[in-house]
Amino acid sequence: MNGKFNTIPSLASNSVYLGMMLALVGGFTDAYTFIGRDGVFANSQTGNMILLAVKAATGNLKDALTHIPPIAAFISGVLVAEAVKLPNVRQLVYSYRRSILILECFVLIIVGFLPESVPNVAVTMCISFVTSLQISTFTKIDKWAYSSTMTTGNLRTAIQAACTAVKEHDEDAKRQFTGFSAILVFFTFGALLGTFSTIYMGNCSIWIASGVLIVALILYHRDRGYYRKNDLRQSH
């Protein structure tokens, strides 16, 4: 049993590998809602705020209002993520990061089952809520702050790290550039995958993102030592 599990990689909450998987999901869900759900972004509230302002300014108030619910859902997700970090709440959920991954995966699975008759705004709000939980919970790769659902800050960090690595031959900066470049690549790949799968598979394509989260959850579960604890119990 131990030998089998030791051959499986594990993911710490701040590992680059987990960051890559979450970035893939982030890119996927944004493309999914933009392509299949009224051109609204689930993750990028910058885009929603800009589109809200532009459409309101041009007199298209009906379309402008469609960008308000995902913004509100995103805010709610951040508030919930902060509440889960409170000591009393953390004792109840045991591992709040694991709980966030489970909740996100569960919601995305449900979204894939929803019929076409369900309003797009309801689906977008669900995805905005869980992705805001993700971005508020998994905030670092290694020791550096990053975002798994937006790329502007990641791109800036990657370029700054590249400049430092070239100018100062800094190994730490090289590692930072490599990690953030991987995040950017996986986010882009997730957006591409989300676009094509949504076009050809429809609403159930979101299950691809939930599948990635299931893999991430299994590997993160192992890193936290749950498998090892179970093995120890069984050996006594």
Could you tell me the CATH number of the domain that includes residue 79? 1.20.1250
Query: For all residues of the chain together, what is the average pLDDT?
Result: 84
pLDDT > 70? residue 223:
no
Give pLDDT, residue 195.
Answer: 94
Q: Give the percent of the chain with pLDDT over 90.
A: 42
Q: Is 3 exposed, middle or buried (0-12, 13-18, 19+ CB in 10 A)?
A: exposed
Tell whether 107 is covered by a domain: yes
Can you tell me the distance from the alpha carbon of 205 to that of 216, in angstroms, rounded to the nearest whole number?
18
Find all residues with CB under 8 Å of 46, minimum gap 6, and list them: 150, 152
Tell whether 1 is covered by a domain: no
The more confident residue out of 234 and 153 is 153
Average of per-residue pLDDT across 28-33: 91
Total number of domains constituting the chain: 1
Tell whether 143 is covered by a domain: yes
Tell whether 3 is covered by a domain: no
Tell whether 226 is covered by a domain: no
Domain that holds residue 80: 14-220
Q: What is the pTM of this model?
A: 0.82
Look-up of token digits 């702050």: 145
The amino acid at residue 209 is A
